[in-house]
Amino acid sequence: MGIRKTWAECSKITQNKAGGHSRKFSSNDDAEAYLLVKIDERDKRKQRDKPKRNRIYGSSPTQGKPTLDHLANFLELKTATSKPEKKHIILTCKHGTGGKASTISHSDGTVYVVQTTPGAKVPLKRLELASAAMKLADGAINANADSVEIIGLDDSVERTLCHLAPDWKERGWLNSAGKPPANLDLIKSMFELYEQIKGKVALGQKQVDKPDTHDAPF
């Protein structure tokens, strides 16, 4: 950009040039005034078209589009600041009747068949079902489950674990009559495991039976 006195000089910098522009003036003063206006317009245009800072990734204008490294760092930061989802397991127990096997359904869709003692009375079968559920809960916790809910156990099982067993243990595993409770070995092992995992285990909805459907409680 400048002032030339002859057309030959002017054509060298304007003809067939990108953005080439020429103009003729009758005096040098007019040419200088026009040139100053164009210079001012050019400077304002450059300021207006200046690349902006990348606000998302914090990169400088010369870095252009975000690279894969930028994206990886962004995703790592997001992952590090996000709270991990808690893993909650539900075990649904179903006591088998009429010759059917007892089962435990895992919230992942797996169904476990519980082998109970052949010919055992109903209270023992319910304890064996509860014991199997406790062992599954323990396995889930060891596999990093945050919490386990066991539902469908008989109400007498929770009563035994939470109320009767602690009293029996204080009395040397004797009941109020001074005798060892029925199915004591199974109750002791299940109670010991429950004491270890009860901080992460909840006994949910229970199965409450009618009084005439089974033998006396443990």
Q: Is 111 helix (H, G, I), strand (E, B) or coil?
A: strand
Q: What is the CATH number of domain 88-203?
A: 3.30.420.10
Amino acid at site 95? H
Measured distance CA(181)–CA(173) in Å, rounded: 7
Tokens 């200046």, residue?
Answer: 50
pLDDT in tens, the chain (218 residues): 677 777 777 777 777 766 666 777 677 777 676 667 677 777 777 777 665 555 444 444 545 555 666 666 656 665 555 566 779 999 999 998 888 899 999 999 999 999 889 888 999 999 999 999 999 999 999 999 999 999 999 999 999 999 999 999 999 999 999 999 999 999 999 999 999 999 999 987 655 454 444 444 44
Which residue from 76, 137, 70, 144 is spatially nearest to 107, judged by alpha carbons? Answer: 137
Q: At what angle do helices 184-197 and 122-142 cross, to 10 degrees?
A: 30
Structure confidence at residue 150 (pLDDT): 95
Domain ranges of the chain: 1-50, 54-82, 88-203
Structure confidence at residue 212 (pLDDT): 40
Structure confidence at residue 22 (pLDDT): 72
Structure confidence at residue 210 (pLDDT): 45
Given a contact cutoff of 8 angstroms between Cβ atoms, the answer to whether 181 and 187 are in contact is: yes
Query: Does pTM top 0.75 for this prediction?
Result: no
Given a contact cutoff of 8 angstroms between Cβ atoms, the answer to whether 91 and 107 are in contact is: yes
First vs last C-alpha separation in the chain: 104
